[in-house]
């Protein structure tokens, strides 16, 4: 119901900020947005929302966040792109405190529905060794061998959601996100993901006149990337569904990192010399989303091709860079 109190944990972040904006567009009247960052660092801040700056690793702060809530979205985590994930495994693992304490608060306050944002990093590494990867099905998470640090935290937290549902009756839902991108997110500073990082690098090369770009790895590694609007639609559909187990939420449009650079170069109308840093973090060699289950259960699929939405992302990052320059 539009009068329900909805809490978005991680509301100052990329996906969380967009979710708050979407809930406002739908007419929700009682929204609480919670994030660790100071308000001036939130990607989107809405004065008509109850905004709280809280460290959700603590039990008491999680209770403060969820008191009186009917619906809770847990999008909060200490994370970033592959460069951050591979060099901050302990910080990524500590996010287990956020989900654990939020689940305890959800049980205490009888929250009606609880959503957990998981990740494709839960999938077994031995199924992602080739760029010509077979799309990953939900069952491919076991036997467990996820991304070290971040992936283990996500897989463990999925199980916590399951057991809180089975043992205590907390209604939990979980989606395994595959590389979400779009405007109003991290594009510099070390936590940005590949689409934003490549947009920034291409823009830096074009604006500086030094037509050269550094690519992490050999550029042949493959990924799929999901635009934020598709993520929001899928997230809320999963939250309101009867799907009990974690489910893929991602595009199945496979692209190499070189191919992603090609797309951004075409958008920018520039051609760059490529330097490959084979010592840099590059993640698994191939990862793609098998969407058979979500198409069957929810009739969900991404609405637009990668090139179209990369244009929107590029335009937003261009505006941020030129504003910063001025």
Residue 4 and residue 1: Cα distance in Å, rounded? 5
How many angstroms separate the Cα of 266 from the Cα of each of 64, 214, 255, 262, 306? Answer: 48, 17, 15, 6, 13
Nearest partner of 276 among 304, 256, 246, 295, judged by Cα: 256
Contact 287/123 with Cβ under 8 angstroms?
yes
Contact status, residue 174 vs residue 246, Cβ threshold 8 Å: yes
Residues in CB range of 240: below 8 A, 6 or more apart: 113
Q: How far is CA 229 from the centre of its chain?
A: 12
Could you give the CA distance from residue 250 to residue 237 in angstroms, rounded to a whole number?
A: 13
Residue 272, CB-side half-sphere exposure with 13 Å CA sphere: 30
- Integer Cα distance of 20 and 11 in angstroms: 7
Both tokens of 208, joined, read 């500086």
| Active site (catalytic) residues | 150
E strand intervals along the chain: 5-9, 30-35, 50-53, 71-74, 113-119, 172-177, 180-181, 212-216, 222-223, 226-227, 247-249, 255-256, 273-277
Among candidate residues 254, 281, 262, 252, the one with its CA nearest the CA of residue 131:
254
CB 67 within 8 A of CB 79: no
Q: Name the 3-class secondary structure at 18.
A: helix
Q: Is residue 92 within 8 Å of residue 85, measured between CB atoms?
A: yes
């Amino acid at each position: 119901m539009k009068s329900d109190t909805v809490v978005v944990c991680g509301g100052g972040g990329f996906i969380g900020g967009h979710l708050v904006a979407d809930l406002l567009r739908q007419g929700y009247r009682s929204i609480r947005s919670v994030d660790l960052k100071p308000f001036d660092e939130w990607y989107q801040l809405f004065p008509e929302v109850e905004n709280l700056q809280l460290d959700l690793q603590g039990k008491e702060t999680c209770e403060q966040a969820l008191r009186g809530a009917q619906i809770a979205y847990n999008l909060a985590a200490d994370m970033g792109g592959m460069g951050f994930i591979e060099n901050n495994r302990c910080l990524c693992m500590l996010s287990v405190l956020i989900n654990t304490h939020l689940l305890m608060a959800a049980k205490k306050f009888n929250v009606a529905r609880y959503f957990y944002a998981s990740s494709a990093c839960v999938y077994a590494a031995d199924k992602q060794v080739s760029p010509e990867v077979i799309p990953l099905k939900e069952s491919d998470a076991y036997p467990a061998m996820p991304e070290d640090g971040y992936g283990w935290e996500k897989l463990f937290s999925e199980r916590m959601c399951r057991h809180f549902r089975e043992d205590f009756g907390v209604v939990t839902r979980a989606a395994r996100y595959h590389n979400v991108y779009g405007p109003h997110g991290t594009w510099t500073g070390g936590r940005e993901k590949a689409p934003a990082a490549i947009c920034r690098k291409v823009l830096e090369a074009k604006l500086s006149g030094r037509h050269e770009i550094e690519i992490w790895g050999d550029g042949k590694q493959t990924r799929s990337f999901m635009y934020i609007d598709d993520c929001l639609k899928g997230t809320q559909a999963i939250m309101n569904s009867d799907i009990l187990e974690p489910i893929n939420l991602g595009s199945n449009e496979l692209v190499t990192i070189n191919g992603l650079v090609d797309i951004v170069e075409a958008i920018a109308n520039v051609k760059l010399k490529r330097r490959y840093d084979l010592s840099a973090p590059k993640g698994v060699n191939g990862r793609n989303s098998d969407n058979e289950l979500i198409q069957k259960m929810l009739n969900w699929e991404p609405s637009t091709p990668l090139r179209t939405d990369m244009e929107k992302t590029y335009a937003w990052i261009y505006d941020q860079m030129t504003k910063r320059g001025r």
